[in-house]
Amino acid sequence: MENKSAINRYIEEVLKPCRFAVLATEGNGQPHTSLIAITPYGSFGQLIFATYRNTLKYRNLTHNSKVAVLIESRDANMKGLPKSIVLTIIGHTEEISITENESAYEAHLNLHPEMESFMRSPDCALILVIAQSYQVVNGIDDIRWITADDLDAI
């Protein structure tokens, strides 16, 4: 990855096909990770996921909205060997009102139709992750950091 536009391309290549990620939260000094179904939203600077309000991840987010989201994309290289790009998004979260932001709800439901009954539950919360920075790992010696503001400037 040589410049910011290459990093932007890698971020888009990871986010477009990806449906799942690992969410890291913190509560009472303890880290917690969860597998979540994600939907890129807006200009790839935001992600949406749904969770029940009675979960540890939701309780953690109500006390500390800072998160890390780890996403891995695997492709095969020219020799058929697996090649992986790992993206970590550092940011914060906000709960989205489903009734006030129907487009976010519909976007997530369109990508994850199997979650319809879960998302219709009154205990389900729709969460928006707002990226502040990205770490893009394209190999053991190819690690780059970029802020969301720098990406917007490209």
Residue with tokens 């917007």: 152
Q: How many domains are there within the chain?
A: 1
Instruction: Of 26, 39, 21, 44, give the one whose Cα is nearest residue 151.
Output: 44
Residue with tokens 């540890």: 56
Which domain does 135 fall in, by range? 4-152
User: For the segment 94-127, what is each residue's pLDDT rounded down to a tens digit?
Assistant: 999 877 788 899 999 999 999 999 999 999 999 9
H helix count then E strand count, the chain:
5, 8
What is d(CA 107, CA 93) in angstroms, rounded to the nearest whole number?
Answer: 17
Provide the CATH number for the domain around residue 115: 2.30.110.10
Instruction: Of 5, 10, 69, give the one whose Cα is nearest residue 34.
Output: 69
The model's pTM: 0.87
**Contact (Cβ atoms closer than 8 angstroms) between residue 60 and residue 26:** yes
Separation in Å, CA 49 to CA 82, 141, 146: 28, 31, 23
Tell me what pLDDT residue 153 has. 63
What is d(CA 102, CA 131) in angstroms, rounded to the nearest whole number?
Answer: 21
What is d(CA 140, CA 129) in angstroms, rounded to the nearest whole number?
Answer: 27
Mean pLDDT of the chain: 86
